Chains A and B, each alone.
Chain A
Amino acid sequence: MDNKTLHEQRKQDLLLTVNHKTPSAVPVMLNINSGVLSYAKVKVKDALKSDEAFVDAYVKFTEYIYGDCVTFPGIFVNQAGYEAMGSGQNRVAHDGYTVEHVQASYMKEDEYPLLIKDPAGFVKDTLLPRKYPFLFDGNTDKAVEALKNVFEGAVDVFGVKNGLVEKAFEERFGIVTALSPNWEIGSPLDMIFDMFRGFAGTLTDLRRRPQEVKAAAAVLWEQRVDKLDAIDDIFPFVAQTPHVPAYLSPKQYEELYWPYEKLLIEKIHSKGNKASILLEGRWMHVVECFKEVPKDSTILMIDDDDPFELKKKMGDHVTLLGGAKMSTIILSSKETCIDYTKKVIDELAPGGGFIFCTDKGWLSKADINDNLAAVYAFVHEYGKY
């Protein structure tokens, strides 16, 4: 079968299973990230030197690990921008492969009124001078050069190189990119968590000043969250990588998170597309909210929740993406991995609504290993309907 036909067949299998119809086989999703470069022994900084080097290094692992589809192709760090600014939250670690996130928050707890009054002004004239003092010290030429490098670093990775990897997956291997690089679900509470107050600050504020958090979330929703009106196709799916829900009580989730989430899922559904939501951490305490949105409007990517319990609780209403645990793959014998994977397929695949994947992205060298290759090869054979 040629790659174009293979790509189309795999895409149709994805569209069947997310509508609880039976595909030809369980789609096998590659949960790729910068760790796949380790298979080619090309570190991120070397891969970034040319488009050709980046693409060739990035796709080389496909000779080792089977896959029908990928989450997002490429890497998700603007390393050139990080180096131009001299600091940031996201960077390549010392091993040369792993993308790490080191949270640094610059908003003080008593500054909610400033954020609520004018989010953009607060960012530009209060937070950025704290985070990057050198931009504002009077050396305009140096500041402009740094800003240009941040912009060009983003265009190079997110606009050019990642796009070329997506094209290479499709044309060289018939592998489908399942999640859109253009449409993304945003959440105002995740913005407060990720960009303003951080982990400790946000969780403290939710208890000490909940009304200010609620008001800030409302303003960010109005001014900053994409309402997704531009969606004009049913595929690829619209992804979300939430961070704060695992730390919310059901009451906080229902009041501050779910109302916005529900609106965006309903918008995506009205466009014929699907919301693909990473359940980072554990969501079992709030997951039944997704029964309030239409059946087959949502794909839930399993992280630390029990996949078998999720299947029982939500499997008829949503598609489950996951099943494999990287901790098992890295720490157990090959036989244990295969036995566990067989149980996953036996219990989660019947009836469709299931895509096989790992719970964590492949960020580091240790993630690309023989057990992973064996598990993915096993699902390719055993997952046929």
Chain B
Amino acid sequence: MLLCTSTESIDREDSILKYDDLKKALTDDKNWDVPVSERAAIAESLAWMLLNL
């Protein structure tokens, strides 16, 4: 892959939600054709996927 390096550090002290709030909202979502039983694990793995996206 082409590699460029930049650093970026944005402070967000004013976040309203926590990731676990998003996890719950994703788990409760009524418009998603993923089995409810799998959603919590998906949300956990998504956190790491987002960091490396």
Contacts and interface: CB of A to CB of B under 8 A. Distances in A.
B5 interface: yes
Contact of A150 (B29, B32, B46): B46
Contacts of A98: 2
A78 interface: yes
Contacts of A198: 5, 7
Nearest to B39: A151
A101 interface: yes
B44 A120 contact: yes
A81 B42 CA distance: 15
Contact of B17 (A85, A104, A143, A200): A143
A135 interface: yes
Interface string B1-29: 11111111111100111111110011001
Contacts, number: 122
A150 B12 contact: no
Interface size class of A (residues with CB under 8 A): 35 or more
A100 B15 CA distance: 30
Contacts of A85: 50, 53
A132 B51 CA distance: 9
B43 interface: yes
Contact of B7 (A78, A105, A147, A154): A105
B1 A99 contact: yes
Which secondary structure dominates where chain B touches chain A? mixed
A144 B42 CA distance: 12
B19 A124 contact: yes
A200 B50 contact: no
Given A81-B53, A133-B15, A154-B49, A105 B3 contact: no
A106 B8 contact: yes
A3 interface: no
Contact of A106 (B9, B42, B44): B9
A218 interface: no
B6 A104 contact: yes
Dominant SS among interface residues on chain A: helix
A125 interface: yes
A106 B45 CA distance: 19
Contacts of B9: 106, 108, 130
B17 A136 contact: yes
Contacts of B2: 93, 98, 100-101, 363
Given A136-B15, A150-B46, A82 B53 contact: yes
Contacts of A101: 1-4
A90 interface: yes
A140 B21 contact: yes
Contacts of B43: 147
Contacts of A108: 9
Contacts of A127: 51
Interface in A76-111: 78, 81-82, 85, 88-90, 93, 98-106, 108
B5 A138 contact: no
Contacts of B17: 135-138, 140, 143
Contact of B26 (A78, A103, A138, A144): A144
A263 interface: no
Given A137-B15, A143-B22, A128 B50 contact: yes
B52 interface: yes
Contacts of B47: 120, 123-124, 128
A121 to B, nearest CB: 9
A195 interface: yes
A129 B15 contact: yes
A88 B6 CA distance: 12
Given A120-B47, A124-B19, A138-B17, 11 more contacts: A104-B7, A104-B8, A124-B18, A132-B50, A136-B22, A140-B17, A140-B25, A143-B17, A147-B22, A150-B49, A199-B5
Which 5 pairs from chain A and chain B are nearest by CB? A124-B19, A136-B15, A88-B53, A101-B1, A138-B16
8 contacts: A81-B49, A105-B8, A128-B19, A130-B11, A136-B16, A147-B46, A194-B52, A201-B7
